[in-house]
Amino acid sequence: MPPKYVKFSNIQQYSQEEIQTAIYSIKQGISVRQASHNFNIPYSTLQRHSTNEEESFGSGRQTVFTAEEENHLFHAITVLEEILTTETFVKEIHEKLLSSEFINNLCRSIVESDIFIQTIATLVDNKLNVYETKLSVLEEENKQLKSHIHSIQAKVNDMDQYSKRKDVIITGIPQTPEEDTTKLVINLAKEIGFDLNVKDIYASHRLPSKSQPKPNIVGFLRYTDRTELLKRRRQLKDVNGYQKVYINEHLTKL
């Protein structure tokens, strides 16, 4: 029995066996376009037959078209292809896609969509999590640095205080233009029964101050002399001319 042929409007004929062979090759994994090239059968014909087989596969039957139906379908597809590929149609689509109204509507649809809002929220949350982690690390580093600074300050203060352990600050001694502060200290000590000489003191001078008279700092060579003077300072309140003179330790600011 001779093979059944399907006639199309372009005069060319293809047997059902040829079409089925091409469809089979498509099922094996090659593309419809490649099968069209290999078997010299129009792409639209193979596409249509392939689609018909997929739709009828679930029902257990295959859709069969008459030659007249095949011709009508092919003609309709050909006309549609011509319309879709005309320069005017392509130009209209191009202009429509580039129009500000279309772009604005598209942007509005995207921005107002739930998936866009959720995506932005997720991105913001992720960024916040990153920055929160970095902030926590920086806060911990800052805490450690502050602790280290406090430790250094305490050590410096201890060293500073140790360097002042032989010093006293005397306030209230009247100030004269050409005074000898060392002799002033020796005379003060004598008034409260404590004998000192110039060799016992390594430094004595007035400190910068807005108050008058300016305080006097005294550095002793021996810690014991400084301690003894501090012990006797209460006696100044009973000595004429020294009631408003005060002797204090030379302390650091901390």
Q: Smallest Cα–Cα separation from 38: which of 26, 48, 47?
A: 26
Does domain 165-249 fall under CATH 3.40.50.720? My reply is no
pLDDT at 63: 56
Q: State the fold for domain 5-85.
A: Arc Repressor Mutant, subunit A (1.10.10)
Rounded-to-integer distance, Cα 214 and Cα 119, Å: 72
Give pTM, 2 decimals. 0.46
Q: Is residue 192 within 8 Å of residue 232, measured between CB atoms?
A: yes
Specify the DSSP class assigned to residue 58. Answer: T
What pLDDT, on the 0 to 100 scale, is given for residue 5? 40
Q: How far apart are CA 194 and CA 189, in angstroms?
A: 5
Structure confidence at residue 132 (pLDDT): 93
Q: Which two tokens stand for residue 172?
A: 């209230």
Tokens representing 121 are 């929220």
Give strand pairing partners of 169.
217, 248
| Cα separation, 95 vs 82, whole angstroms | 19
Q: What is the pLDDT of residue 81?
A: 74
pLDDT of residue 236: 93
Residues of the chain with pLDDT under 70: 1-14, 52-65, 254
Q: For 212-230, how does the pLDDT look when each residue is reduced to its tens digit (9 = 90+)?
A: 899 999 999 999 999 999 9
Distance CA 142, CA 148 (A): 10
Q: Amino acid identity, residue 159?
A: M
At 39 the pLDDT is: 83
Domain locations in the chain as residue ranges: 5-85, 165-249
Predicted pLDDT at 54: 58
**Angle of the 43-57 helix axis to the 16-27 helix axis, nearest 10:** 70
> What tens digit of pLDDT does each residue of 56-79 get?
544 444 555 677 777 778 777 877
Residue 11 has what pLDDT?
A: 37
The whole-number pLDDT of residue 1 equals: 43
Q: Are the C-beta atoms of residues 185 and 204 closer than 8 Å to each other?
A: yes
pLDDT at 135: 94
pLDDT at 4: 42
Q: Which residues contact 15 (CB under 8 A, 6 or more apart)?
A: 3, 4, 5, 6
DSSP states of 110-123: HHHSHHHHHHHHHH
pLDDT for res 184: 94
